[in-house]
């Protein structure tokens, strides 16, 4: 989370309107989902990598690490699609493990490939968005799209609370560690449980103090704040057109 946050705030297109960046990611995801060809997913990955590294100047390593973090989830779901397990012998090549037959077929392999490239393209598009756009700007985008205010307030408070509670968590864990709270697995488990309950209490007290602080500044039902200012980048439109055209081409090619 820290890496993503760091680049989201420091990349070269931080000030570009989140609607433009979100639009690009949305085009990529929709076309990835709509078009069947595995090449579409791979091409999307290429596009998003290029946009993130060349346009937004996010280091290739950061983009790769974000994608690698998502990799295990993707692979796990692929195993279920590519392999079939049965008690009876399977048609085609299969491996016998005790009473089970584990096998695969060309169709399921093809299905898995398609799923993999599709998911990879979508993940890359989302990575491009979150590596270039702080959550703050995404919330601002939702606000402009007229998402109900209560949801917006909840999202922004949650985002802020994550940072505040992480700090509390680290402080408490250090205090426990200093008194050997994590020496040995059983003691560690007990300490972690205590930490969880204390963190809950801490969050509860904080919410009461926050309520008071907001009231003292004249809270009027919702958390009204100034809209943020962004610049629009002319290139975004060309990127969008080229992206859509190339993905459509790749999707139509057989």
Kindly give, in sequence order, each residue whose CB lies less than 8 Å from that of residue 67, ignoring residues fewer than 6 positions away. 120, 123, 124, 127
Q: How far is the CB of 191 from another protein (least distance, A)?
A: 24
**Where does the chain show beta strands of DSSP type E?**
84-86, 94-97, 100-103
**Contact string (CB under 8 A) for another protein, positions 144-183, x = contact:** ------------xx-xx--xx--x----------------
- Angle, CA 137 vertex, CA 136 and CA 140 arms, to 5°: 95
Region binding another protein by CB under 8 A among candidate stretches 60-68, 106-114, 116-124, 212-220 = 212-220
Q: Does 33 bind another protein (CB under 8 A)?
A: no
Mutual orientation of helices 60-82 and 2-10 as an angle, nearest 10°? Answer: 130
Integer Rg of the chain from CA: 24
Q: Is 216 in the site for another protein (CB under 8 A)?
A: yes
Q: Are strands 100-103 and 84-86 parallel, antiparallel or unpaired?
A: antiparallel
Q: How many CB atoms are closer than 10 A to CB 50?
A: 13
206 binding another protein? (CB under 8 A): yes
Q: Is there binding between residue 228 and another protein (CB under 8 A)?
A: yes
Pick the stretch among 59-67, 177-185, 191-199, 205-213 that binds another protein (CB under 8 A).
205-213
Pick the binder of another protein from 146, 217, 231, 254 (CB under 8 A).
Answer: 217
Nearer to another protein, 197 or 216 (CB): 216
- Neighbouring CB atoms inside 10 A of 31's CB total 22
Q: Which one of the spans 29-37, 107-115, 120-128, 216-224 is the region binding another protein (CB under 8 A)?
A: 216-224
Quick count: other Cβ atoms within 10 Å of Cβ 183? 11
Q: Is 30 in the site for another protein (CB under 8 A)?
A: no
Which segments of 133-226 does DSSP mark as H helices, in order?
135-144, 149-178, 185-216
Please choose, from the candidates 140, 133, 138, 151, the residue with its C-alpha nearest in 3D space to the C-alpha of residue 227: 140
Assess 1 for contact with another protein (CB under 8 A): no
Interface positions, 128-147, toward another protein (CB under 8 A): 134-136
Among 210, 230, 233, 240, binds another protein (CB under 8 A): 210
Q: How far is the CB of 199 from another protein (least distance, A)?
A: 14
Does 215 participate in binding another protein (rule CB under 8 A)? yes
Interacting residues toward another protein by CB under 8 A: 5, 9, 134-136, 156-157, 159-160, 163-164, 167, 206, 209-210, 212-220, 223-228
């Amino acid at each position: 989370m820290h890496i993503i946050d760091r680049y989201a705030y420091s990349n070269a297109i931080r000030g570009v309107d989140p609607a433009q960046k979100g639009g690009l990611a949305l085009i990529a995801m929709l076309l990835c989902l709509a078009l069947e060809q595995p090449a579409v997913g791979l091409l999307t990955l290429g596009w998003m990598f290029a946009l993130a590294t060349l346009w937004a100047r996010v280091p290739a390593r950061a983009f790769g690490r974000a994608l690698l973090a998502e990799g295990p989830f993707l692979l796990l779901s692929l195993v279920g699609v590519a392999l079939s397990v049965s008690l009876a012998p399977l048609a085609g090549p299969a491996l016998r493990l005790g009473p089970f037959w584990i096998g695969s077929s060309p169709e399921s392999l093809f299905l898995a490939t398609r799923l993999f490239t599709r998911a990879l393209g979508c993940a890359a598009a989302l990575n491009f968005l979150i590596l270039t756009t702080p959550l703050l700007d995404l919330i601002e985008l939702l606000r402009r799209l007229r998402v109900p205010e209560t949801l917006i307030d909840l999202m922004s408070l949650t985002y802020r609370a994550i940072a505040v509670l992480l700090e509390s968590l680290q402080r408490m864990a250090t205090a426990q560690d200093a008194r050997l709270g994590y020496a040995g697995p059983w003691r560690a488990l007990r300490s972690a449980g205590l930490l969880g309950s204390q963190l809950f209490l801490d969050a509860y007290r904080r919410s009461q103090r926050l309520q008071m602080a907001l009231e003292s500044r004249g809270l009027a039902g919702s958390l009204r704040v100034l809209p943020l200012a962004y610049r629009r980048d002319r290139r975004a439109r060309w990127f969008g057109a080229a992206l859509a055209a190339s993905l459509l081409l790749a999707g139509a090619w057989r």
